[in-house]
Amino acid sequence: MTTVHERVDTFHDNDQKPVGYGRMLRKEDPRFVRGRGRFVDDVRLPGMLHLAILRSPVAHARILSIDTSAAEASPGVKAVVTGAMLAEQGLAWMPTLSNDVQAVLATDKVRFQGQEVAFVVAEDGYAARDALELIDVEYDVLDPVVDARRALEPDAPVIRDDLEGKTDNHCFDWETGDEAATAAVFARADVVVSQDLVYPRVHPAPMETCGAVADFDAVEGKLRLWSTTQAPHAHRTLYALVAGIPEHKIQVISPDIGGGFGNKVPIYPGYVCAIVASIVTGKPVKWMEDRFENLISTGFARDYIMRGEIAATRDGQILAIRTNVLADHGAFNGTAAPVKYPAGFFGVFTGSYDIEAAYCKMTAVFTNKAPGGVAYACSFRITEAVYLVERIVDCLADELGMDPAELRLKNFIRPEQFPYTTKTGWVYDSGDYEPTMRLAMEMAGYADLRREQQEKRARGELMGIGIAFFTEAVGAGPRKDMDILGLGMADGCELRVHPTGKAVVRLSVQSQGQGHETTFAQIIAEEIGIPPDDIDVLHGDTDNTPFGLGTYGSRSTPVSGAAAALVARKVRDKARIIASGMLEVSVADLEWDKGSFRVKGDPGKSVTIQDIAMRAHGAGDLPEGIEGGLEAQICYNPSNLTYPHGAYICVVDIDPGTAQVKVRRFIAVDDCGTRINPMIIEGQVHGGLADGVGMALMEMIAFDEDGNCLGASLMDYLLPTALEVPDWETGFTVTPSPHHPIGAKGVGESATVGSPPAIVNAIVDALEPFGVRHADMPLTPSRVWDAMRGNARPP
């Protein structure tokens, strides 16, 4: 089913308050707008000490010696810890979420600029930071490997000599699709277009940096850790495995989080340092990184060097797509991706098109740069996949002299082909692409825009129109083939209805700004008719929520949202039995009417969910075999991912004198299935579109040839502001997921995935008079200028 009309399915309880899905102001915002949010840095415990980390000034060096004596003597300092000291406890290295190891504090070598070398614990943050300057480290500087292409050269310095028998910088190889079948299709195609593309290294740069407060109570033997984490339960299990503290003696609390964007999925050395420091000093210890540390050392995103090849018939039938990728993983493989998917979900690079064959070959390497890779609203690397396919489809349109919208429309997977198995093995659950594309074109006034462009070109003005159409795979995932370090990707949910009909729902996922306190209350409200205001959402505390893998890959709605709907139905099933007792009719004679059960054919006889809650806890008999109370818990294991899609159209104007790009209009039509809260969805889309403007035009973590990070402050790493973004024009279609209990698909990363190719396509389209087929992001004025003069250069 596809409709362009908003589902206004809110209904009313006895007080005429709207409940269920629909636009609703965020329940969390009164707290945030009054400054009452409680973030990790707001945690202040009695006797708390402060930790600061000494970081490597160079990208690659052997550590010859570390002298901590002056730092230890510095006023207020309680402890100075080096890698050698951690090594004595077996804590110098920790596992990453990708089956690699990462140094907590360097012992042998430093492998990227900003790597953790030592830490100081002091009475206050100033004393700790001052003492860092007194630590004397002697480095024997080695040649760094900064470029992924250099990493594979036979004479390149070996970065990971900590790994036994490692003699090169090779991280992993991966392939998907059918190489021979794809080659055969390419061999017989009328047209083959190939294009080199770089998706540069960028950074999620959330407003709140990463940090933790560790409080180890030696008497209880219990560790309490407030930390900036998107996955508190997964982190707890890992701490138990690394630190040897029994899991039930670890409580991870992720309080309010000031933006995550994937930056808060990995476990960082700083968290482990804070834990060690609290155990050593017997006091609570806070570690909070600054902006510089966040940008220089925590999880980056992208850094893929790609070659895209596309084969087609002369009349524009796309036959096959092939890609070769060189992935830069930095010094340690620290990405978080399901174990079977070392390249995340990059395998969906065949996009939204029905093609005959596809093949991807990827090589990942270590370089002397910070670890990371899966972050910044990437849906597990679908950002890179969508950028690849949507750019080369445009290159093909250019080659064929075909309109890019027409080329896409001609090749879409058709609605009757769903569920559709791609040539790389992904089963797209549902989709209806053409109406989404047509709606975007209608909203944009596509034909008029093309006319306007022609007129402008005739006058020497540079106007471009860019299209991107994407399909995402979100909601990892079926636990049979998806896990993070052995933990199956499922999520729990618990719902308790109190005697007076108010409720609390406990989630294993964790909001970083996505509005879960509102939307999860709405899901429960829709199912059991208790108004969202009467439902509290608890998350981010492992002692008080059921186990589950957390928020990333836009999995909260696909996985936990399903869990919430199903747990509510379980409660409703029990409520039905209690209602049958109260109304003295059989269960079969009852019908559910949005918040109450009534006797079929006798609408006057009914009981509300609130009446039932009181009876469930109150005096009087309950039906045979029914226990008191009104609550339930489940663990939801998704049967497939959900596949949202969208059509984006961007209009740019370029100043021919300065090469400055202005994004004049941006039309985004998203289809995330059933929409729980359209206002929140729009907020997610607006944010992601702004991300896209940032990546396409200005963001890049760059390095010089010595491995010095050149984007380590927000003066150099440019983020878009209200001045760079247009008024977004959003629309939607609704193609519900057939396997999700409420038909909802994730949306949190869609716009970040879909917008960069739309913007780059628009810029390349504007530069057509200069014969430009491609230019790499970020398309700063100097890059655009170079492209106009025929020397588009890779980053």
Positions touching ligand CUN (CB under 6 A) are 230, 260-262, 265, 374-378, 380, 552-553, 749
- Is 609 within 8 Å of 497 (Cβ atoms)? yes
- Closer by beta carbon to ligand MCN, 113 or else 750: 750
* Residue at shortest CB range from ligand CUN: 262
Contacted by 514, from ligand MCN, ligand CUN, none: CB < 5 to 8 Å by type: ligand MCN
Q: Which of residues 183 and 679 has its CB atom nearest to ligand MCN in the complex?
A: 679
- In whole angstroms, how close is the CB of 301 to ligand MCN at the nearest point? 9
Task: Provide the CA 396 distance to its chain's centre, in angstroms.
Answer: 30
CB 675 within 8 A of CB 6: yes
387 contact choice in ligand MCN, ligand CUN, none (CB below 5 to 8 Å, kind-dependent): none
What is each CA distance from 776 to 391, 424, 685, in whole angstroms?
Answer: 11, 26, 24
> Shortest distance, CB of residue 641 to ligand CUN, whole angstroms?
13
**Min CB(233)–ligand CUN separation in Å:** 15
Task: Compute the distance between CA of residue 151 and CA of residue 329 in angstroms, rounded to an integer.
Answer: 11
User: Whose Cβ is closer to ligand CUN: residue 375's or residue 663's?
Assistant: 375
Provide, rounded to whole angstroms, the least separation between the CB of residue 377 and ligand CUN.
5
Pick 148 or 473: Cβ nearer ligand CUN: 473
Residues 286 and 280: their CA atoms lie apart, in Å, by 14
Q: Which candidate, 395, 396, 392, places its Cα nearest to that of 315?
A: 396
Tokens 């004397």 found at: 136
Q: How far is the CB of 720 from ligand CUN (least distance, A)?
A: 18
Asked if 394 and 401 count as a contact pair (C-beta separation under 8 A), the reply is no
> Which amino acid does the sequence have at 162?
D
Nearer to ligand CUN, 262 or 778 (CB): 262
Give the one entry of ligand CUN, ligand MCN, none that residue 374 binds, where binding means its C-beta sits below a cut-off of 5 to 8 angstroms depending on kind.
Answer: ligand CUN
The CB-of-106 to ligand MCN minimum distance in angstroms stands at 29
Cα–Cα distances in angstroms (integers) from residue 708 to residues 57, 58, 145, in the given order: 8, 7, 11
Nearer to ligand CUN, 265 or 630 (CB): 265
Alpha helices in 584-719 (DSSP H): 609-617, 678-697
CB of 341 to ligand CUN, least distance (A): 12
For residue 718 the two structure tokens come to 């440019």
SS3 letters for 486-502?
A: CEECCEEEEEEECCCCC
CA atoms within 13 A on the CB side of 662: 11
Closest distance of CB 166 from ligand CUN, Å? 28
DSSP SS3 for 249: helix
412 forms beta bridges with: 353
The option from ligand CUN, ligand MCN, none interacting with 353 (CB < 5 to 8 A, set by class) reads: none
Residue 542 interacting entry, from ligand CUN, ligand MCN, none, C-beta within 5 to 8 Å by type: none
| Torsions phi, psi for 195 (to 5 deg) | -150, 135
Is 317 or 551 the residue whose CB approaches ligand MCN more closely? Answer: 551
Report the DSSP beta bridge partners of residue 253: 226, 541
User: Prior bond to 404 cis, omega within 30?
Assistant: no
| 551/560 Cα distance (integer angstroms) | 9
Partner whose binding site includes residue 205, from ligand CUN, ligand MCN, none (CB under 5 to 8 Å by kind): none
Residue 557 CB, shortest distance to ligand CUN, in Å, is: 13
Choose the contact partner of 747 out of ligand MCN, ligand CUN, none; CB within 5 to 8 A by kind. Answer: ligand MCN
| CB closer to ligand MCN out of 130 and 384 | 384
Residue 687 contact partner, candidates ligand CUN, ligand MCN, none, CB within 5 to 8 A by sort of partner:
ligand MCN
Q: Is the peptide bond before 477 cis (omega within 30 degrees of 0)?
A: yes
556 binds, among ligand MCN, ligand CUN, none (CB under 5 to 8 A by kind): ligand MCN
265 makes contact, choosing from ligand MCN, ligand CUN, none, with CB < 5 to 8 Å by partner type, with: ligand CUN
| Cβ distance to ligand CUN smaller for residue 83 or 260 | 260
Rounded-to-integer distance, Cα 304 and Cα 326, Å: 6
- What is the smallest separation between the CB atom of 690 and ligand MCN, expressed in angstroms? 11
Q: Which is nearer to ligand CUN, 263 or 730 (CB)?
A: 263
- Compute the distance between CA of residue 310 and CA of residue 319 in angstroms, rounded to an integer: 8
Give me the residues that bind ligand MCN (CB under 6 A), please.
206, 259-262, 377, 512-516, 519, 551-557, 672-677, 680-681, 684, 687, 744-749
CA distance 492 to 490: 7
